[in-house]
Structure 1
């Protein structure tokens, strides 16, 4: 069993992070997988009813984290994970506060990418005991060789509309987000095609100029993958991909807040430019997350992890991360100086809104799925509920 559950639970003596702000001396009631009610002060006897009551010790209660960019963990990669591997990945990330996840691919062959969709769609069709796989994020293969980062250059090519049409026909609703280089041949039409299928178009691993990103946004681009990393940088005479992402409000920007990919001042710059509603925290975690230092692979490329930092063995390029979402939230609060309520929005509410699931999850509101985290006052993760079911960590 992955956890325990009761029909109804009330957490008391907590600080609740809600869309309206922080509720001090708060309480929240979870009933049959949903948030039934929440408030501050003493919960009314009618609300308590037959519920179990748990004292939260003055800690924080947050909505569960939603990671839209994660490749794996616990020694497994979404590119080749079978059911056991998918369970291991989702269990590992659930134990660090992630309640919803996009299984993220790497640049690979058409057959390999189809295999990812096949395995993930079958996994999604059955009850998922840990972090809920919400769909697939295809990171590539329609990216720039110049900014390939840890993507395998052998499989980079321009957008292939016929691939997309086959995928959405065979696996409807499974692809939720796709990263591409907007400057590549046919990319603008492909962006429109993605939108027509309800898939979020994202720029990443791209050498696009400022004007090319703006043109892509005009056609429906609305997401930037691991902002600052693997994209044309800012220059005051050619603002580049970074300049367009920072200044165009149509684009929501991911950031890897691990202290290695982006300096704290860079994250603060992003935060000031985009505002609290247009930044999304992601891990970009690879199979080595949760594992000891050593040698691994990412997209068929050898990776060496030293002191928890993963780099391509041959080039030294950063190769994903070993970050967890609770680690990203703590980094934002402790190192960047972001208020916890704002960091929580970047880790939960903003990704839920970008994926169009904010009516179901992403915030603490009555009626929403009980994806709930209890943190200590020092931001140590203490308990995780997914759909009202506590995950044993």
Structure 2
């Protein structure tokens, strides 16, 4: 048998809780064993340990899956280049992300086709960082009233012809579409996308409670950055936020940076949906790891200052974030009071389930892909492993 790699002297984080004296055994690109160190004898027998990493009492977790990320490391998905996707993937791997969806901004159709082509080309290739699982189309099929940092010039109702072209170009990389369900043609678009195994997420929307539920009945199963750029919860008009919080069929994204969403609202979402219904995302833009200054998100100028990104010409509008997945986990644990096992689930298994990948990603179990993050006591990333290979080590 071939050589094995071992991560030991750590606490193994599982959906059910934390195994205090945990051990992880990796063979090739897969997990061979994950459990108590005392029970690992069979997994270690008959092979040579070629590499051993000491977690130093930290937390051994499944790698984080970010289903909504625009950029990082100075690069953006809208740059439409393989090099940009690689820079993004490496920047986020330093914060525990082992897989991500490259996320667009609203743009001309031809530009979106270019991005889709590049994402398909990079999907499944080694980046030296996080895996690029596919494409999240955020815009242009969103409501101008809730455009956020999207350029209203490019917003339009869903187009069957455009979606068919995007699906043809992106192929299996076409994973998620955010749209506003109240737009003309939205219900037909939802049904068409769901038939092709593309996840539909409700977002940037002025939908009523009833309109949102109609979209869920049509097959939408997610909500994009809950509370942000959508009709909020009011006791006489529950809006899109109320609909997705109340409907057990829907998983919700949360930007858990303490800026986009108040910790009290984060707690409300967790209590309504549970860890299986919340997906932590970053919505991060290109300035992650870069100095303060002026950048772009899509084709709009953005000023980054003191850890926040805002539109230059509308400073009240947040323009993505500089959030990382390990920071989102920290906020949920330290500021919201969520158990670590649940916070990690929201960053790993829940997004894997939403993407139909929970058979191989999202938890530490024998036979799963060896995508792993080791966190220290402060819940900061010290090592990231993708497909059994270390891509980041502090």
TM bucket normalised to smaller: over 0.9
1:314 is aligned to 313
Gaps of 5+ in 1: 1-5
Deviates more, 1:275-284 or 1:170-179: 170-179
1:61 is aligned to 60
SS at structure 2 position matched to 1:169: helix
2:288 is aligned to 289
SS at structure 2 position matched to 1:122: helix
Over 3 Å counting, the alpha-carbon distance change for 1:184 and 1:26 in structure 2 is same
**1:46 Cα deviation from its structure 2 partner:** 4.2
1:132-152 alpha-carbon deviations (Å, 9 max, x no partner): 000000001000000000011
Alignment of 1:159-170 (within 5 A): 159-170=158-169
1:340 is aligned to 340
1:30 lines up with 2:29 in the alignment: no
2:48 is aligned to 50
Alpha-carbon distance between aligned partners in 2 of 1:182 and 1:327, rounded to the nearest angstrom: 31
1:40 lines up with 2:36 in the alignment: yes
**1:68 Cα deviation from its structure 2 partner:** 0.3
Q: Is the 8 A contact 2:12 2:22 kept in 1?
A: yes
Q: Is the 8 A contact 1:19 1:364 kept in 2?
A: no
Alpha-carbon distance between aligned partners in 1 of 2:25 and 2:118, rounded to the nearest angstrom: 35
- RMSD (Å), alpha carbons: 1.3
Alpha-carbon distance between aligned partners in 1 of 2:136 and 2:35, rounded to the nearest angstrom: 36
2:197 is aligned to 198
2:252 is aligned to 253
Alpha-carbon distance between aligned partners in 2 of 1:201 and 1:392, rounded to the nearest angstrom: 32
Alpha-carbon distance between aligned partners in 2 of 1:298 and 1:161, rounded to the nearest angstrom: 26
TM-score of the aligned structures, taking structure 1 as reference length: 0.96
Alignment of 1:1-393 (within 5 A): 7-48=3-44, 49-51=47-49, 52-124=51-123, 126-316=125-315, 317-393=317-393
SS at structure 2 position matched to 1:392: strand
SS at structure 2 position matched to 1:172: helix
**1:40 Cα deviation from its structure 2 partner:** 1.0
Q: Is the 8 A contact 2:124 2:132 kept in 1?
A: no
Alpha-carbon distance between aligned partners in 2 of 1:106 and 1:90, rounded to the nearest angstrom: 18
**1:59 Cα deviation from its structure 2 partner:** 1.1
TM-score of the aligned structures, taking structure 2 as reference length: 0.96
SS at structure 2 position matched to 1:108: coil
Deviates more, 1:257-266 or 1:41-50: 41-50
Deviates more, 1:25-34 or 1:48-57: 48-57
SS at structure 2 position matched to 1:366: coil
Alpha-carbon distance between aligned partners in 2 of 1:170 and 1:303, rounded to the nearest angstrom: 30
Q: Is the 8 A contact 2:93 2:392 kept in 1?
A: no
Alpha-carbon distance between aligned partners in 2 of 1:46 and 1:156, rounded to the nearest angstrom: 58
SS at structure 1 position matched to 2:347: helix
Alpha-carbon distance between aligned partners in 1 of 2:370 and 2:124, rounded to the nearest angstrom: 20
**1:357 Cα deviation from its structure 2 partner:** 0.5
Alpha-carbon distance between aligned partners in 1 of 2:211 and 2:122, rounded to the nearest angstrom: 38
Gaps of 5+ in 2: none
**1:43 Cα deviation from its structure 2 partner:** 4.8
1:104-139 alpha-carbon deviations (Å, 9 max, x no partner): 000111001001011111222643321100000000
Alpha-carbon distance between aligned partners in 1 of 2:170 and 2:292, rounded to the nearest angstrom: 37
1:239-285 alpha-carbon deviations (Å, 9 max, x no partner): 11111111011111001001110000000011111111100000000
1:325-345 alpha-carbon deviations (Å, 9 max, x no partner): 011111111111111100000
SS at structure 1 position matched to 2:322: coil
